[in-house]
Amino acid sequence: MSHSSTASYRVLVVEDTQEFADIARMILTRANIESHHANSGEEAIIYLESERPDLILLDLNLGDITGWDVLEFVTSQYGQNSIPVIVTTAHSDPANRLVGKLQEIASYLVKPFSAQQLLGAVNAVRNGTTDRP
């Protein structure tokens, strides 16, 4: 469900915690960024089979399949590095960051993060100025 049909930048928010998804989408909407929410990995894959967002905000710890599985689908569907991904997780462990580097993640945000941090990461991806994790 999109908030604005006139927004030129589309973000898929893959997040199984409804409250966090609502906050992220509110932040994006206020920045005039269109967003769609998938509350599971499977829902994200169904969406990605027919839509290609400009960016994916991807939680790693989903209830059904992992965020890495969603990322693997994106790579197989669209190609390596085809859609930038900002990983969001409550875990700041180095192993996830290493996997993120190996998977060409655009950015890595540890929850909770501020609206400024989220918009900074999204704008860096939009402007092509990401500093990979």
d(CA 103, CA 98): 9
Residue 19 forms part of a structural domain? yes
pLDDT of residue 97: 55
pTM for this entry? 0.85
pLDDT of residue 93: 63
Write down the H helix ranges in the chain.
Answer: 18-30, 41-50, 67-78, 94-102, 115-127
Residue 116 forms part of a structural domain? yes
Name the residue among 87, 76, 74 with its Cα closest to residue 121. 87
Residue 4 forms part of a structural domain? no
Answer yes or no: is pLDDT of 120 > 60.
Answer: yes
Average of per-residue pLDDT across 25-33: 96
Residue 90 forms part of a structural domain? yes
Yes or no: say if 60 and 109 are a contact pair by the CB < 8 Å rule: no
What percent of the chain shows pLDDT beyond 90? 56
pLDDT of residue 19: 93
**Counted domains in the chain:** 1
7 pLDDT band, cuts 50/70/90, is very low
Query: pLDDT tens digits for 70-116?
Result: 999 998 988 887 899 998 887 666 665 555 555 678 888 888 889 99
CATH of the domain at 90: 3.40.50.2300
Residue 105 forms part of a structural domain? yes
Residue 131 forms part of a structural domain? no
Residue 132 forms part of a structural domain? no
Find tokens 């928010």 and name the residue: 13
pLDDT of residue 108: 83
pLDDT of residue 104: 72
pLDDT of residue 26: 97
Which residue range forms the structural domain that includes residue 62?
Answer: 10-126
